[in-house]
Amino acid sequence: MGEVRGVRYLCGAMLLLIVAWEAGAADIRQGAEGGCHPAVTDVPGKVMIVCDKVEMKALERLNELLDKRDLELPEKVWEANEWAGRFRGLEKTLSEEIQDKVLAGDAWKYLQEGKLEEAGSVLDKLLDSVEWTDRTGTRQFCRAEAYSLQFNPQKALLHYAKAYQDQPENPVYANAYARALSDQNRRGEAEPIYLASLKRLEKSAQANPAHLPLMATTLNNLGNLYRATKRPKEAETAYKESLEIRRKRAPSDPAAHLPNVAMTLNNLGILYRTTHRYQEAETAYNELLDTYRNLAKTNPPAYQPDVARVSTVLGMLYWSTQRPKEAEEAYRESLDTYRNLAQGNPAAYLPNVAMTLNNLGNLNWASQRLKEAETFYLESLDAYRNLAQLNPAANLPNVAMTLNNLGNLYRDAQRPDDAKNVFKEEAEIRSKIK
């Protein structure tokens, strides 16, 4: 394959990062943040996702399920955070709300061991039980959550519906059912459920402020629905109301509430960026970055990756609005953070180091700082070559991409021999990819 002239390629990992964030973060209950992050394993090139307050056997099952799905690392962490929130919520419900303590204890034990199918079978027995007087909705909700932990949304939806039908006044069940409907693209059915729940919460929160977190959750999820159905004005209103509630609660318990502030700020930033309101997007992302910096002070493994990711998004935002100086500053913060993370976990974060180096190369090339661009490309190329030794299928395309960028740089710098050699190597690698 010959050289592609005048094109500077962004790394695929960066595009995947943005796609993962574009979906928007939805939460089912307050405090659903899972505290998940990649961890080092004994297997070279293997990354395991670990989450706070989730037992190792359960984490092993989570990683087994994630590995079966076609997900990149940022998407895996995203899914794991939601999974961990559900896992802990189901643990709590089984221990506190189910009257049949024998069956609930059996289900809890299987859950701890990562035996999700066995836990589900016990929960089926609970559904058939008529001995106890606890509400059917509680048992149906537990069964739905167990299916969700298995990434079986169709079966989960059936039980979320039954839980809601039994207790439509329960805002947790209403949110879970509406969210499940939205995930199945049945947003027309989800919207009135969100709105009815929100109306009840607005009334109850006046007498009981403890209901405010669930109100914020409902508003956040409703904002996602409005954004997905191309109603940006309504989405912005919902996100802002959710954010106001969450900001007010954050000082009382930052570790519990700041992740939820971050979630809604992220959604608001996506809304502004995708509707070309770049100034508002910048404001939202800068607050988001400050929020993750604060969280990273007390839990670096969980939140330093978020600092790096938001810095990357800000760099892209600055670049798209012709502000190369600010873009470079943001990319350099991202690079410094990813380099620190890669020292402890190269399998997880060396691809991000390579990605950011490539994009700093692009930025310097566009600014006609060719020597600096060459330095960044060569370091990116070295990182991708090392990664390709462990996983050729995933990383040889990135080696070829960086070679193409470097070849175009040499051509522009009037170094034809260097350009010819680099393009030749690129062509050889692309022939192997085919």
Using alpha carbons only, give the angle 358, 360, 365 rounded to the nearest 5 degrees: 95
pLDDT of residue 377: 97
Binned at pLDDT 50, 70 and 90, residue 229 comes out as very high
Confirm whether 84 is domain-assigned: yes
Closest CA to 10 of 362, 431, 255: 362
Amino acid identity of residue 59, one-letter, is L
List the CATH number of the domain containing 364: 1.25.40.10
190, 157 in Cβ contact below 8 A? no
* Domain stops at, among 100, 134, 167: 167
Domain end, chosen from 118, 147, 167, is at 167
CB 52 within 8 A of CB 87: no
Residue 22 has pLDDT above 80, yes or no: no
Which residue is listed with tokens 């991202």?
334
Residue 217 lies in a domain: no
How many domains are there within the chain? 2
Q: In terms of residues, how long is the chain?
A: 434
Computed on alpha carbons and rounded to an integer, the radius of gyration of the chain in Å comes to: 24
Number of other residues whose CB lies within 10 A of the CB of residue 109: 14
pLDDT of residue 8 exceeding 60, the answer is no
Rounded to whole angstroms, the Cα distance separating 26 from 33 reads 10
Q: 6: which 2 tokens?
A: 């005048």
Which pLDDT tens digit goes with each residue over 303-337? 999 999 999 999 999 999 999 999 999 999 999 99
Q: Which pLDDT score is estimated for 44?
A: 66
* Residue 12 falls inside a structural domain: no
- At 61, the pLDDT band (50, 70, 90 cuts) reads very high
Instruction: Note whether residue 399 is domain-resident.
Output: yes
The answer to the question of residue 234 being in a domain is no
| Burial annotation 297-334 (CB, 10 A radius, 16+ → b, else e) | eeebbbbbbbbbbbbbbbbbbbbeeebeeebbebbebb
Residue 281 lies in a domain: no
What pLDDT digit, counting tens, does each position of 358-383 carry? 999 999 999 999 999 999 999 999 99
Residue 208 in this model has a pLDDT that exceeds 90: yes
For residue 203, how many other CB atoms are within 10 A of its CB? 11
Task: Return the top range by mean pLDDT from 10-24, 30-44, 138-152.
Answer: 138-152
| 58, burial (CB in 10 Å: exposed 0-12, middle 13-18, buried 19+) | buried
**Full residue range of the structural domain in which residue 108 is found:** 31-167
Residue 28 — pLDDT band, cuts 50, 70, 90?
very low
- Confirm whether 205 is domain-assigned: no
Q: Which of 167, 200, 235 is where one domain is finished?
A: 167
Q: What is the mean pLDDT of the chain?
A: 89
Q: What is the pLDDT of residue 52?
A: 87
Q: Is residue 183 part of a domain?
A: no
pTM reported for the whole predicted model:
0.86
Q: Is the pLDDT of residue 66 over 80?
A: yes
